[in-house]
Amino acid sequence: MKKLLRQYLGMTIGIILTATALNMFLIPNKVAAGGVSGLATVLHYLSGWPVGMIMLVFNVPLFFLGIKFLGPRYGINTLYGAAALSVSIDILAPYTPILTHDLLLSSLYGGVLSGIGMGLVFRFKGNTAGTAMAAAILNKIYGISVGQALLAADFLVVAFAGLIFKSPELALYATISIFVTAQIIDLVQEGPSTSKAFLIMTDKPKEVADGILYEIDRGVTFIQGKGGYTGQERELLLCVVSTSEVTQLKELIYQKDQRAFVIVADAHEVLGEGFTAVKPVSSVKS
């Protein structure tokens, strides 16, 4: 029960932040930043209907289509997320101050705040239906890529807003907000990239591994590999270090084998000894 309450509390906080971002920055400045919320923003100015109500009109049929084509996993969490976001937008609208009418500031801060909100919703196993569900349905029925469907949906909403509001500038600012939101969602879900993963291909795996173990005091894993061109069996090294140790590890590799081939990649949420402790993730079937 505690896990369930914690999950829905996290989702609710995320939903409130998203609703605040829309009411404080995006809707009053006509920044239709893609998705159902962007479409609802445009229709709000055309019809005068509340944004949340318009979103609910679109999301309810999407929810039932999701259940039909995608299965019961799109269940209570999605229904709660979609309904709570719609209601929150309309309830909070009269009490939310509009901090700025500067389009750039509105796009940036609206994107950051909505990204934090949606990131929390996703992190706590939630969903708010919208174009993400529509894209998943199209993928299931027609095999269209989810990423391409989302991109097309956002593009159509932004273009529609630009035409209705007769302002190419608003469309450009909406694109900025979409990009910022996506980056912040990833940051909230995955955490900041404070570690780096090294994949090392070297003719001196033992020497390099010993240096990592005893000079840098980090763990290292041997992976059996084979050269695609030569067909030669060889050992690869996998190691994760903090960003402050990157230069030290590069220098160590260079000292041991100047001909080593090294791939360095961002590592998000590194769990285990020497990094963040492994914690259970609360979840509930949706």
pLDDT digits (tens, 9 = 90+) for 206-259: 999 999 999 999 999 999 988 787 888 889 999 999 888 999 999 999 999 999
Q: What is the CATH number of domain 195-267?
A: 3.30.70.120
47 exposure class (CB count in 10 Å sphere: 0-12, 13-18, 19+)? exposed
Calculate Rg over the CA atoms of the chain. 24
- Please answer whether residues 127 and 18 qualify as being in contact, where contact means their C-beta atoms are separated by less than 8 angstroms: no
Which element (helix H / strand E) includes 8?
A: helix 2-21
pLDDT recorded at residue 227? 79
Sort strands 221-226 and 195-201 into parallel, antiparallel or unpaired.
unpaired
Give helix then strand counts, H and E, for the chain. 10, 4
- Please answer whether residues 44 and 121 qualify as being in contact, where contact means their C-beta atoms are separated by less than 8 angstroms: no
Q: Which tens digit of pLDDT belongs to each residue from 8-56? A: 999 999 999 999 999 999 999 999 999 999 999 999 999 999 999 999 9
Q: Which tens digit of pLDDT belongs to each residue from 95-144? A: 999 999 999 999 999 999 999 999 999 888 888 888 888 888 888 888 88
Q: Please, which pLDDT band fits residue 262 given cuts at 50, 70 and 90?
A: very high
Cα–Cα nearest to 106, from 206, 157, 155, 176 = 176
Read off the pTM: 0.77
Whether 278 shows a pLDDT value over 60: the answer reads no
Which element (helix H / strand E) includes 147?
A: helix 146-164
User: Per-domain residue ranges for the chain?
Assistant: 2-190, 195-267
The residues, ordered by sequence, that sit 6+ positions from 23 with a Cβ below 8 Å of its Cβ are 89, 92, 93, 96
The token duo for 241 is: 């270090």
